[in-house]
Structure 1
Amino acid sequence: MTDTIRLSQARVGDRGVIVQVGEHCHHEDHKAELERRLLELGFVEGARIELMHQGLFGGDPIALRVDDMRVALRRHEADSLTIRLDGIAA
């Protein structure tokens, strides 16, 4: 069984595929800019993703593997991405 969650809810070791970019930004005026930045960084639908590390204080920022790249995001930015989990956290 697979689950679909916001990337901000993922835990270290979670793996999956991006199924949606955008739509969850808290500030409407920044929504388009954040979506554009995420797409430029390689956060596109169908990309494989793995949460590799999270910060000590509040779990922020998070380090991710997106296909063959490593990227760091804040959790509020990760809230704009929806992923379909396909593995169990390590």
Structure 2
Amino acid sequence: MTLAPTLTTLDALKAGQTGTVITLQPNATAERDGGIDVSRRLMELGFVPGERIRMLKRGLTGGPIAVKVGQSTFALRRFEAALISIQPE
């Protein structure tokens, strides 16, 4: 019997944890940012299925997080990180 992989969202990772991007919520928009397509922007930054990520640092409750994807480091808002489904390692 094979167990299904445990998925979570990027905002739930602890500092130092790694994982692989599985999916992004489609068509998520940020009304407070003029209605930009957040999912598309995240994909353009490199948060694409199959990409390995590492949580570098978590800010205070509700604050931004620092994430490494590929050779780049990004600060994401919590709501952006919550759009990214990952499989923790």
* TM band (smaller chain): 0.7 to 0.9
Identity fraction in percent: 34
RMSD: 2.3
Q: Which amino acid aligns with 1:63?
A: A
Find 2:23's aligned residue among 20, 23, 30: 20
Alpha-carbon contact 1:6-1:82 (below 8 Å) kept:
yes
1:82 Cα offset (Å): 0.3
CA offsets per residue over residues 16-60 of structure 1, 9 Å max, x none?
Answer: 1000012494879x5x701111011111111110000011x2152
Alpha-carbon contact 1:24-1:79 (below 8 Å) kept:
no
Cα separation, 1, equivalents of 2:30 and 2:43? 18
Corresponding residue for residue 64 of structure 2 = 61
Q: TM-score, normalised by structure 2?
A: 0.79
Distance 1:85 1:24, change over 3 A: farther
Corresponding residue for residue 11 of structure 2 = 8
Cα separation, 1, equivalents of 2:11 and 2:29? 13
- Larger-gyration structure (1/2): 2
Q: How many residues align?
A: 83
List structure 1 runs of 4+ shifted beyond 2 angstroms: 23-28
1:3 Cα offset (Å): 2.5
Q: Which has the higher contact order (CA 8 A, sep 6+)?
A: 1
Alpha-carbon contact 1:52-1:65 (below 8 Å) kept:
yes
Q: Specify every segment of 5 or more residues in structure 1 that has no aligned partner in the other structure, as ranges.
A: none
Q: Secondary structure at the residue paired with 1:71? A: strand
1:72 Cα offset (Å): 0.8
Q: Specify every segment of 5 or more residues in structure 2 that has no aligned partner in the other structure, as ranges.
A: none
1:15-54 paired onto structure 2 within 5 Å: 15-23=18-26, 25=28, 30=35, 33-54=37-58
Structure 2 residue 79 is the aligned partner of structure 1 residue 82: no
Q: Which amino acid aligns with 1:40?
A: E
